[in-house]
Structure 1
């Protein structure tokens, strides 16, 4: 799996290392793919890159994110997404600041908690973020040296309460990490 990614991923040993590499990958300055199997960010992520890169450089290692959206999906049915971001963060002032800002803004926040539906269609949940993934998944997706800091970190999920094209989450996160 790590054959196509830049060798710097294999050397990452801390959340700071992973955050810097993830930010560089998001911005396109790190050649190759991401350890999670992504060649490049999805097109829907492009407007979020400045905020996601800042969060990663601050040491909130984002694992998955999506903008809010409401429209006709690939299958001709209505799909709804709520803005959401999920990732790994150490205990400390940054976690406290993000949780306080997101909570004050009325966003959904889960720290090492339950998963929350973030995409739905035809009355069914299609995607959920938030729950701590199994250790086997972490070992599969991240380079060996990065597994201990990921497993020691908290899993942080922030999501808008509403489905659809809302951007409050991104403004709140941007302010909290800068």
Structure 2
């Protein structure tokens, strides 16, 4: 049987499908119509590996220094099982990275993109399953419901590689080559 969004039943399968979308093998995800944003191109190898390691991402952005009024913090969010959440918490605790993890919406948000000095994009908070429900079967929705929703943010505006190196180490992945 061919793995599709409708046939996926586990976080591992959802991570594989997300990795396939990132690498261009699938046209869209339940949460994103179309291919990844152009800014994601340098992150595709590490993001695909992160998804295959059990961190099902639904948002990511690179760190971007101030340019034409915009700047970004590197950030990532998605679903993980409890053991992976514990690994991330332990690995990120001695770093300067910010880790939020929750089952329900805590309401905690962190701005990760500024446009001319004003907050433009925020991360944090449990997104719910609204975008997933039409694409996934009950087993996959149950897997997401049982998972932790994790958000990781680099507090330093524009830093391009730190978050990705720390995550790769936490998930026992090769260190990525990420640059801007």
TM-score range, shorter chain: 0.7 to 0.9
- Do the aligned residues in 1 keep the contact of 2:30 with 2:132 (CA within 8 Å)? no
Partner of 2:149: 155
> 1:106 is paired with a residue of what secondary structure?
coil
Show structure 1 runs of 4+ deviating over 4 A: none
Q: Which runs of 5+ in 2 are unaligned?
A: 173-180
The two structures have a TM-score, normalised by structure 2, of 0.83
Of 6, 14, 29, which residue of structure 2 is paired with 1:18? Answer: 14
- What RMSD, in angstroms, separates the aligned Cα atoms of the two structures? 1.9
| Count of aligned pairs | 166
Q: Which runs of 5+ in 1 are unaligned?
A: 1-5
Alignment of 1:89-128 (within 5 A): 89-92=80-83, 94-112=84-102, 113=106, 114-128=108-122
Partner of 2:48: 53
* Structure 1 residue 132 corresponds to structure 2 residue 122: no
| Residues 13-48 of structure 1 deviation map (CA, whole Å, 9 limit, x = unaligned) | 1101101111122122x2332222332111111111
> 2:130 is paired with a residue of what secondary structure?
helix
Alignment of 1:140-151 (within 5 A): 142-145=135-138, 146-151=140-145
1:63 and 1:36 map into 2 onto residues whose CA distance is 7
Displacement after TM superposition at 1:174 (Å): 1.1
The two structures have a TM-score, normalised by structure 1, of 0.84
